[in-house]
Structure 1
Amino acid sequence: MVAFVGSCLISILLLASIFWFAKRRPVGTPLSWGEAMVAATYAFFGLFWVYGVVPHQWLTWSENELGWRPDKYLAGPSGTGALREVPMNISYQTLSHLIAVVIYGVFLALHVALWAVWQGRGDKVERRRKALEEKTTAYGRPLARRA
Structure 2
Amino acid sequence: MVAFISTIVILVLLIAPVFPYAKRRPEGTPLTWGEAMVGATYVFFVFFWAYAVVPHQWLTYADAELGWRSDLVWIGPKGTLLTWFPIDIPAVVARDVIATLIYVVGLGFNIWIWAWWQNRSQRETKPVPVSTYGRPLVKKA
TM over 0.5: yes
Q: How far, CA to CA, are the matches of 2:23 and 2:111 in structure 1?
A: 17
1:28 aligns to what? Answer: 28
Whichever structure has more helix as a proportion of its residues is: 1
2:123 paired with 1:100? no
Q: Paired residue for 2:135?
A: none
Q: Deviations over 1:57-107 (max 9, x none)?
A: 000110011111001011111101x32122211111111000000000000
Partner of 2:90: 91
Alpha-carbon distance between aligned partners in 1 of 2:129 and 2:120, rounded to the nearest angstrom? 19
Q: What are structure 2's unaligned runs of at least 5 residues?
A: 133-141
Deviation at 1:114, TM superposition (A): 0.6
Which letter does structure 2 place at the counterpart of 1:55? P
Give the Cα–Cα distance (whole angstroms) in 2 for the partners of residues 45 and 30 of structure 1: 23
Q: State the shift of 1:128 in Å.
A: 5.4
Provide the residue aligned with 2:67 in structure 1: 67
How many angstroms apart in 1 are the aligned matches of 2:112 and 2:15?
11
Matching of residues 1-147 of structure 1 within 5 Å: 1-80=1-80, 82-124=81-123
Most deviating of 35-44 and 24-33: 24-33
CA 121–134 in structure 1, closer or farther in 2 if over 3 Å, else same: farther
For residues 30-75 of structure 1, the C-alpha deviation after alignment (integer angstroms, 9 at most, x for no partner) is 1111111110000000000000000000001100111110010111
Query: In structure 1, how many angstroms separate the alpha carbons of the residues matched to 2:131 and 2:60?
Result: 59
User: What residue ranges of structure 1 are gaps of 5+ in the alignment?
Assistant: 136-147
Instruction: Tell me the secondary structure at the aligned position of residue 74 of structure 1.
Output: strand
Structure 2 distance, partners of 1:132, 1:121, is: 22
Corresponding residue pairs, total: 132
Give the aligned residue type for 2:76. Answer: G
Identity %: 48
Q: Contact (CA 8 Å) 1:19, 1:117: kept in 2 or not?
A: no
- The runs of at least 4 consecutive aligned structure 1 residues that moved more than 4 Å come to 131-135
8 Å CA contact retained: 1:7, 1:54 = yes
